[in-house]
Amino acid sequence: MRKTFINTEISYIYPMSTWILQPTTQKIIESIVSNNEISEKSIKKSIKVKENEIRKILYKLEELGIVAPIGAFTLKEGKLDFKWKVKITDIKKVYEIIINKEIAEIDTELENMPDTIYYCLECGISYDTDSAYENNFQCKECGSILVEKENYKKLQLKELKEKLIDILNSIKKPEKTREKIKTTK
Ligand SMILES: [Zn+2]
């Protein structure tokens, strides 16, 4: 695999991994940042990613103020292509913006996530505190008594946040001292 700006291995490890750590996202970002203006078809040509995926990422980047749509234009064959202005061409800055936004979103999610959940050992179904309480702490499916356990999703999300902070810190470092982010499988 081609080396990307960010070590992407972690996207395969964390099931809750964010869009920014997906190799496709990184390919798209890296193909646009060196230009002031890009067209969707030209991105597609250079990195061989489906157009709808490209547009999905461009919309996200637009929300973050990194790109802005210029408009549609017709190609010789009568097909439409779409042009985008690249407002931020410094890749470090682009990633800083995206990762900071991701961390802020994770923080909000963590705030609203309970530390523990209720779980049926028979069916493997999880309940939040409210629904466990409503059902007298019994499983709706089989009637087993629910057990309280740590919310694994919350732990994963916290771990993901730590990884994003690591990536952010490594981006901020000067090129030479940038370390590879260690990952384990
Ligand atoms: Zn059950």
> Tell me: the pLDDT tens digits for 34-52?
889 999 999 999 888 898 9
Angle at 24 between CA 33 and CA 111, to 5 degrees: 95
Angle at 84 between CA 82 and CA 90, to 5 degrees: 150
Distance 145 CA to ligand 1 centre (A): 8
To which residue do tokens 């505190």 refer? Answer: 129
Distance 156 CA to ligand 1 centre (A): 24
Q: Look at the pTM and tell me if it is higher than 0.85.
A: no
Task: Tell me the per-residue pLDDT of 85-100, one tens digit each, with 9 for 90 and over.
Answer: 999 999 899 999 999 9
Distance 148 CA to ligand 1 centre (A): 13
Tell me, what DSSP letter sits at residue 1?
-
